[in-house]
């Protein structure tokens, strides 16, 4: 703060407040920069994801999580058949600053048709135990923002499958979107992907 004096005699000094510099800002990374980090070995021995410009390090997988991911992928390969690529823990390039690696994602077309990471999916599945809250909030909102119509959360803690559908805007969510239709299915129920409505998958088949 500085004080200046007017030239006119008897006038009170004028208080001048110096402009404050802006506070610290977060640094968001692009996919190109994320790739450069990986090439430089920043994530050696770790599994990382890019979520809205933030690099997220994924926890090591315990056996129940890993075996369930493999189990879900097998079930979905049988369900979808030819013409679809069922991918396990591989990148989806959803935006310039987001490249998550969902536990299982089903994309249209065969593997050989792709020359880069897919930019969408007909179904995304996350297997959740320690990451349950993250998958229900930031991951959920990210997938809804990207227009993923069918998002399943295999909840290992409560032994249910949470099915999220109908993305809608919601300013209160991390990325401004959520799913309007959310259902919790128990092991004795069935679920069918939106892309394959004629199929009926036993929820128990998706749980360990």
Instruction: Give the separation between CA 155 and CA 28, rounded to whole angstroms.
Output: 30
Q: Is 201 exposed, middle or buried (0-12, 13-18, 19+ CB in 10 A)?
A: buried
**pLDDT band at 1; cut points 50, 70, 90:** very low
Instruction: Give the separation between CA 207 and CA 64, rounded to whole angstroms.
Output: 10
CB 68 within 8 A of CB 127: yes
- According to DSSP, residue 34 is labeled H
Boundaries of every domain in the chain = 59-206
Q: What is the pLDDT of residue 84?
A: 98
Q: Give 11 or 205, the one with higher predicted confidence.
A: 205
Name the residue among 129, 124, 126 with its Cα closest to residue 63. Answer: 129
Proportion of the chain above pLDDT 90, given as a percent: 67
CB 183 within 8 A of CB 175: no
pLDDT in tens, 73-130: 999 999 999 999 999 999 999 988 888 999 999 999 999 999 999 999 999 999 999 8
Q: What is the pLDDT of residue 128?
A: 95
Name the residue among 155, 49, 136, 137 with its Cα closest to residue 94. Answer: 49
Q: Is residue 12 predicted with pLDDT exceeding 60? A: no
Q: Is residue 165 predicted with pLDDT exceeding 80? A: yes
Proportion of the chain above pLDDT 70, given as a percent: 83
pTM, full prediction? 0.78
Q: Which CATH number fits domain 59-206: 3.30.450.40, 2.40.128.90, 3.40.50.300, 3.90.1570.10?
A: 3.90.1570.10
> Which of 22-31, 100-109, 120-129, 175-184 is the least confident region?
22-31
Q: What is the pLDDT of residue 34?
A: 72
Q: What is the pLDDT of residue 22?
A: 57
Q: What is the pLDDT of residue 27?
A: 67
Name the residue among 208, 133, 207, 144 with its Cα closest to residue 173. Answer: 144
**pLDDT band at 17; cut points 50, 70, 90:** very low
């Amino acid at each position: 703060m500085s004080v200046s004096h007017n030239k006119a005699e008897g006038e009170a000094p004028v208080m001048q407040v110096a402009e404050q510099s802006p506070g610290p800002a977060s640094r968001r990374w692009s996919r190109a920069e994320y790739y450069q980090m990986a090439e430089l070995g920043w994530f050696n021995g770790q599994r990382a994801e890019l979520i809205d410009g933030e690099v997220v390090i994924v926890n090591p997988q315990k056996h129940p999580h890993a075996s369930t991911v493999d189990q879900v992928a097998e079930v979905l390969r049988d369900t979808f058949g030819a013409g679809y690529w069922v991918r396990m823990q591989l990148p989806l390039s959803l935006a310039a600053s987001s490249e998550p690696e969902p536990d299982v994602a089903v994309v249209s077309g065969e593997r050989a048709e792709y020359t880069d990471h897919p930019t969408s999916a007909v179904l995304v599945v996350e297997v959740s135990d320690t990451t349950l809250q993250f998958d229900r909030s930031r991951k959920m909102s990210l997938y809804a923002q990207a227009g993923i119509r069918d998002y399943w959360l295999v909840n290992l803690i409560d032994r249910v499958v949470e099915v999220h559908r109908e993305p809608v805007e919601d300013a209160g969510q991390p990325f401004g979107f959520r799913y309007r239709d959310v259902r919790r299915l128990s092991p004795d129920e069935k679920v069918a992907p939106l892309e394959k409505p004629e199929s009926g998958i036993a929820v128990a088949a998706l749980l360990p």
